[in-house]
Structure 1
Amino acid sequence: MYTKSFSHILSSPLIVDSPSPSSSSSSLTVPCFFSPTSLKSSSASLPATYFHRYSHPRSLASSLAAVMFPENSVLSDVCATGISGVVAFSCLGFWGEIGKRGIFDQYVLSDLGLKQNIKLIRKLVHINIGLVFILCWPLFSSGLQGALFASLIPGLNIIRMLLLGLGVYQDEGTIKSMSRHGDRRELLKGPFYYALSITSACIFYWKTSPIAIAVVCNLCAGDGMADIVGRRLGTKKLPYNRNKSVAGSVGMAISGFLASVAYMYYFASFGYIKNSGWDMILRFFIISIASALVESLPISTDIDDNLTVSLTSALVGTLLF
């Protein structure tokens, strides 16, 4: 009865059910809200059927191996936050230094014949940061606690974008690597929505949901590649939006889809995603097509595409999954 009451309060795909009254009373079953960290100590006394709601037996060991302190889920998530934070902010620092040196600055002639910096580094940051961050998700526990700890990292970046955009403090490298024209106020739009979208994917969907994968992959890989491909191959413009190209939209759909499938298999290898077959792959394809279509519309010029792509992926994903 004790574990049953907790399972109603703390709904998680990893909470184990209470043993039946006929079960032996010699072993006490502890509620596993912070799985997989709490599962190790009690897994020996539990039937294999207790894990069917979480994962396939072959992936269970992989899940447990990803947790650093199986006996203390809070300490494990704190360490995971530290490691993920170092990885994420090291990436930001690296691209910031690249931005200061102008290594990836590329200039093309505009329609008026003027040299224009296309800021390739801005899209490389866009692609890299989110995809690297979610590689660290298996370090965290699978319940709400793990999601909240993980969301602290993009959450801190939201605050950072606000402080930089408002001019509270200066960071030339970050501003150059994340803005089109080197204007700090640009960080209050695209980069802010980017960090907000990844934070929301952590809190509302987390690593057991394919929707989180779709949101992050279409935002990072899809939208990032749309600009890169469109500027290099986008000679043919869309009839309903002359600012977008056919090549850019196709590149976005393909990149977002391939990244989604790759991360589907990545999380499935830890047991977080079940039924990762052709049916799920088809749904990822539909989501990527829908996201690319919305990104190509004129509305994405007025409303930042970091916001429209994320919302489209989440809404279509909710309908499909």
Structure 2
Amino acid sequence: MTHPMLQDSVVMVITLLLALSWLRIMDALAAYGWLEQKLSRKIIHMGTGPLFVLCWPFFSPQPTARYFAALVPLAITLQFIGIGVGWIKDPDAVQAMTRTGDPKEILKGPLFYGLVFVVCTLGFWRTSPVGMLALMMMCGGDGLADIVGRRLGLHKLPFSPEKSWAGSAAMFGGSFLFALSFLTLFNRLHYFQPPLAWASMVSVVAAIALIATVVEALPFRDIDNLTLTGVAVTLGLWWF
């Protein structure tokens, strides 16, 4: 039988390598011009988190497993800080993760993204639907809102001129589908005790996705990763 600490160490390394590989692939596609800069930024946003969470079942059942898992987003977040302040020179990452090519932009949205994953991993882990719900709404909803809004967002929201009805619709749909998919998966893997009833889970996820959509639509730039997940966590704690 594999020792839990050894299992968690190996899974942590594999998870980190998978996440870094995903980031490097997106960096390369942006650097070669095969992906638009803003699009690559949001694809990274939408893909990195789900890839990380999909690795959670491979960690041991020990309570300390969450600390090993949290080291993955922490390591990537420290890398973001190094790039943002200029300690690490990585022009491909800057090209893929910023809007204007300024490395300091990484100290905003991408940094908050990583910190939220560290906090939710440590605070909720895989036995709670709350953190997973918030993370998937941030990844799927916020990421898809920007992609759709930039392409189809002709009609702007009256209270938020940088946001559109199309983007908000994508925010709701992405939040709902990503969160419901992951909660369903982990529910079927029996991590939630007692198990969540399907009808109740669907209605709660839809309600929280709707409220999160309103929050995302507010005219606050670069802090969506904090406000959106904060609201989702608060509502998740209340409903679950």
TM over 0.5: yes
Q: Which runs of 4+ in 1 moved over 2 A?
A: 141-144
Task: Name the TM-score, length of structure 2 as normaliser.
Answer: 0.95
Q: Tell me the residue number matched to 1:235.
A: 154
CA offset at residue 201 of structure 1?
1.1
Query: Going by fraction, where is helix more abundant, 1 or 2?
Result: 2
Distance change in 2, residues 1:264/1:320 (3 Å): same
> What does residue 251 of structure 1 align with?
170
Q: Distance in 1 between matches of 2:178 and 2:57?
A: 17
Aligned to 1:98: 29
Aligned residue for 2:16, secondary structure, equals helix
1:285 aligns with 2:180: no
SS at match of 1:272: coil
| Paired letter, 1:96 | D
Shift of 1:83: 1.4
**Are 2:125 and 1:194 aligned?**
no
Structure 2: gaps (5+ residues): none
Q: For the Cα contact (< 8 Å) 2:4–2:62, is it kept in 1?
A: no
Matched residue type, 2:151: R
**Does 2:3 align with 1:78?**
no
Aligned equivalents of 2:166, 2:60: Cα separation in 1: 40
RMSD over aligned CA atoms reads 1.3
Show the counterpart of 2:101: 182
Q: Does 1:130 align with 2:49?
A: yes
Task: Indicate the residue corresponding to 2:231 in structure 1.
Answer: 312
Provide the rounded CA distance (Å) in 2 between the counterparts of 1:143 and 1:215: 23
1:162 corresponds in structure 2 to 81
| 1:158-206 deviation digits (Å, cap 9, x = unpaired) | 1111110000011111111111111100000000000011111100011
Partner secondary structure for residue 175 of structure 2: helix
Q: Give 1:258's aligned amino acid.
A: L
Structure 1 residue 142, shift from structure 2 partner: 3.6
Task: Specify the SS of the correspondent of 1:271.
Answer: coil
Verify: 1:272 aligned to 2:156, yes or no. Answer: no
Report how far residue 269 of structure 1 moved: 2.7
Q: Distance in 1 between matches of 2:202 and 2:130?
A: 12
Residue 4 of structure 1 corresponds to none
Percent sequence identity is: 34
Q: 1:169 to 1:71 in 2, by over 3 A?
A: closer
Q: Deviation at 1:71?
A: 4.4
Task: Give the Cα separation in 2 of the matches to 1:284 and 1:178.
Answer: 29
Answer whether contact 1:265 1:276 (CA < 8 A) is retained: no
* Greater relative contact order (Cα < 8 A, sep 6+): 2
Q: Which residue of 1 aligns with 2:142?
A: 223
SS of alignment partner, residue 144 of structure 1 = coil
> What is the CA deviation profile of residues 205-232 of structure 1, one whole-angstrom value per residue up to 9, with x for unaligned ones?
1111111221111111100000011111
Contact kept in structure 1, 2:133 and 2:183, CA below 8 Å: no
Partner of 1:153: 72
Tell me the residue number matched to 1:295.
216
- After superposition, the Cα gap between the structure-2 partners of 1:152 and 1:319, relative to the gap in structure 1 and judged at 3 Å, is same
- Kept after mapping to 2: 8 A contact 1:137/1:207: yes
- Give the total of aligned pairs: 238
Residues 264, 276 of structure 1: 8 Å contact kept: no
Q: Residue by residue, what CA displacement relative to the aligned partner does 1:274-299 show, whole Å, maximum 9, x if unpaired? A: 2241101211111111111101012x
Cα distance in 1 between the residues matched to 2:62 and 2:148: 38
